[in-house]
Amino acid sequence: MGAGHAHRLYRHGHSPVHALPPHTKLAAAFAFVVVVVSTPREAIWAYPLYAALLGAVAYVARVPAGFLLRRLLIEVPFVAFAVLMPFVAEGERVQVLGLSLSVNGLWGAWNVLAKGTLGVAASVLLAATTELRALLLGLQRLKLPPLLVQIASFMIRYGDVITDEMRRMRIARASRGFEARGVRHWGVLAKSAGALFIRSYERGERVHLAMVSRGYAGSLPVIDEVTASRAQWSYALALPLSALAVCLLGWIL
């Protein structure tokens, strides 16, 4: 499915993880994140264990560490916020390298950093091993409201079309000597964005017309039914279940 069309996060392969039905992977990734988030932050030893679990998945999926780490960079802007926390949080303070840091803030930063990184890593792994199209089928299978699935599906279909339209508008502007060189030119860019919005809106109307003409009555027909065997579910759920064991230990110890 979707040969020749791969989104940038996807990494083509034939590993056992790639082969799992999309909805089992979605459920597993979501459950894993929930388990990680509900782990007490004081159980520091639990987090390397979680990371090791993800590492094992990456190994089975044959996703190289470099690939995974590069994709993790998306997290950086959020991390910047976490780094601020020890400086601004209230409460008891400790001296580290001559800086006065809040203990609460340190715990908070650690909490955000560890859980966020694990969540992003799980998502990156999911995206690297599942095609966009399959993700949509999985969401549909997991009974996400059909309207949301439709919106996501149209985003994928028309993303390139609209980007292309934007590119043509930029070329048309440049051909008439326009160059955005500062705040004074933002007005022109804003008008372009407005025009793009209206064009997209009108395209939406035409697409709707085409859909209605082919019998659309509010819901997209389910053309591909994805199914998973018991064994496939158990492979997929191995990840969140082992994580759950770690989490429970974290609460008990």
Q: Does 62 contact another protein by CB under 8 A? A: no
How far is it, in rounded angstroms, from Cα 229 to Cα 212? 36
Tell me the number of residues near another protein by CB under 8 A: 32
Contacts with another protein, 151-180, as mask; x by CB under 8 A: --xx-xxx-xx-------------------
Q: How far is CA 7 from CA 129, 148, 164, 196, in A?
A: 11, 20, 16, 23
Q: Does 12 contact another protein by CB under 8 A? A: no
5/12 with CB nearer another protein = 5
Please say whether the beta carbons of 90 and 102 come within 8 A: yes
Q: Does 14 contact another protein by CB under 8 A? A: no
CB atoms within 10 A of CB 74: 12
Least distance between another protein and beta carbon 9 (Å)? 16
Q: Does 214 contact another protein by CB under 8 A? A: yes
Q: Among the candidate windows 71-79, 113-121, 128-136, 178-186, which touches another protein by CB under 8 A?
A: 128-136
3/76 with CB nearer another protein = 3
154/197 with CB nearer another protein = 154
Please say whether the beta carbons of 117 and 75 come within 8 A: yes
Least distance between another protein and beta carbon 217 (Å)? 7
Q: Does 148 contact another protein by CB under 8 A? A: no
Paired tokens of 131: 């095609």
Nearest to 123 by CA among 44, 58, 46, 41: 58
CB atoms within 10 A of CB 41: 15
173/203 with CB nearer another protein = 203
72/156 with CB nearer another protein = 156
19/248 with CB nearer another protein = 19
Q: Which of residues 74-103 bind another protein (CB under 8 A)?
A: none
Q: Does 199 contact another protein by CB under 8 A? A: no
3/252 with CB nearer another protein = 3
Q: Does 216 contact another protein by CB under 8 A? A: yes
Member of 223, 227, 231, 252 binding another protein (CB under 8 A): 223
Summarize as ranges the residues that interact with another protein (CB under 8 A). Answer: 1-5, 132-133, 136, 153-154, 156-158, 160-161, 203, 206-207, 209-217, 220-224
